[in-house]
């Protein structure tokens, strides 16, 4: 029997706890959480006997740690930890869409330079296996268009505003209470969070790096009660839609509220659910739907990446075929 691989975990918030709870349900996976790095080790943590530290070097410099899992909300610190872990020969799994989306040039270099795997399924779409699908079945096809709901928090808020006539403020508080929105929801409601995910999808769809600074981005805060009444009168819903389209080799990216009708695949995707539609030149349209926010769906994506790491899986980040 193979010895269990040792994990160094950064972060024990909503996603970190979700990963921990998911991992307990998979005793067949030959891994053990050896150390957990958090900001504060004085906080009471009940129901487990994990070793906590606030010194990242206890994980990064420990030769016994095989895999680093980064689940913190500090993008700058995450970037440092991920690069150092890879440099020290450790596989890395991350859910940090902000860090990855804003550092794709470095991420691309890490894929090329370092031997260990760097995987981040949980950074896009929560429990939807979109990155793996782009890197697998869809890799050898030309992707024409990607369109979807990529932020569960904003979708939850818009759903409550439209179905139950809640105010924006009430819907936001409820989303935060249920763990769908962060304490500081700015990235979610502004469309920036979805734009980071769109940048990552562009990288895997086209093998190209596109900064969200060039995207057309609009917040759900611009959605008024009058907009909601208008949509309802026309039998439509308002969704924060992320779109990535390639026309004549030019990639166009946007994240903005849109009216969608019953014939749209995004129409019935409500609450914290996400949906991603991928149009490929050969196999046509593929629609992925699933939980896009919350501890357990995101934690499940980390588990799947963990299984892939144990199988020495690496992303194929070469330029994709162009058949136009």
Could you tell me the two tokens for 32? 């053990």
Q: How far is it, in rounded angstroms, from Cα 283 to Cα 278? A: 10
Q: DSSP label at 140?
A: T
Catalytic residue among 197, 237, 256, 291: 197
Half-sphere exposure of 237 (CA within 13 A, CB side): 25
Q: How far is it, in rounded angstroms, from Cα 180 to Cα 32? A: 28
Q: How far is it, in rounded angstroms, from Cα 146 to Cα 156? A: 21
Q: How far is it, in rounded angstroms, from Cα 97 to Cα 95? A: 6
Pairing state of beta strands 284-291 and 273-280? antiparallel
Residue 319, φ and ψ in degrees, nearest 5: -60, 140
Q: Decide if 84 is catalytic.
A: no
Could you tell me the two tokens for 262? 């019953």
- Residue 115 makes CB contacts below 8 A (sequence gap 6+) with 89
Helix 75-87 to helix 104-113 angle (10° resolution) is 10
Q: By C-alpha distance, which of 216, 261, 281 is closest to 242?
A: 216
> Residue 197 is inside which H or E element, if any?
helix 192-206
Q: How far is it, in rounded angstroms, from Cα 309 to Cα 119? A: 8
Beta carbons of 93 and 67 less than 8 angstroms apart: yes
Give the total residue count for the chain.
324
List the catalytic residues.
Answer: 197
């Amino acid at each position: 029997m193979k010895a269990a691989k040792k994990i160094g975990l950064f972060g024990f918030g909503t996603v970190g706890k979700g990963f921990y709870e998911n991992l307990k349900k998979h005793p067949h996976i030959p891994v053990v959480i050896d150390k957990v790095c958090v900001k504060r080790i004085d906080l009471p943590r009940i129901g487990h006997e994990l070793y906590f530290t606030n010194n990242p070097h206890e994980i990064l410099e420990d030769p016994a740690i095989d895999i680093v899992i980064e689940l913190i909300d500090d993008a700058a610190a995450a970037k440092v930890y991920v690069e150092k872990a890879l440099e020290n020969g450790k596989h890395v799994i991350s859910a940090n869409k902000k860090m990855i989306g804003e550092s794709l040039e470095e991420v691309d270099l890490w894929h090329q330079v370092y031997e260990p795997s760097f995987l981040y399924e949980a950074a896009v779409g929560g429990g939807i296996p979109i990155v793996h699908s782009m890197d697998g079945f869809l890799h050898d096809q030309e992707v024409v268009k990607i369109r979807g709901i990529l932020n569960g928090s904003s979708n939850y808020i818009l759903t409550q505003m439209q179905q139950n006539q809640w105010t924006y403020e009430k819907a936001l508080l409820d989303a935060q209470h249920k763990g769908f929105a962060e304490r500081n929801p700015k990235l979610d409601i502004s469309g920036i969070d979805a734009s980071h995910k769109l940048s990552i999808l562009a990288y895997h769809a086209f093998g190209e790096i596109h900064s969200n600074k060039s995207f057309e981005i609009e917040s759900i805060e611009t959605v008024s009660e009058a907009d909601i009444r208008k949509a309802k009168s026309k039998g439509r819903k308002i969704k924060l839609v992320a779109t990535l389209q390639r026309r004549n080799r030019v990639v166009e990216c946007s994240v903005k509220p849109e009216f969608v009708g019953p014939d749209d695949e995004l129409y019935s995707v409500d609450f914290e659910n996400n949906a991603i539609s991928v149009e490929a030149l050969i196999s046509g349209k593929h629609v992925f739907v699933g939980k896009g926010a919350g501890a357990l769906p995101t934690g499940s994506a980390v588990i799947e990446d963990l299984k892939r790491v144990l199988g020495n899986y690496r992303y194929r980040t070469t330029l994709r075929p162009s058949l136009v």
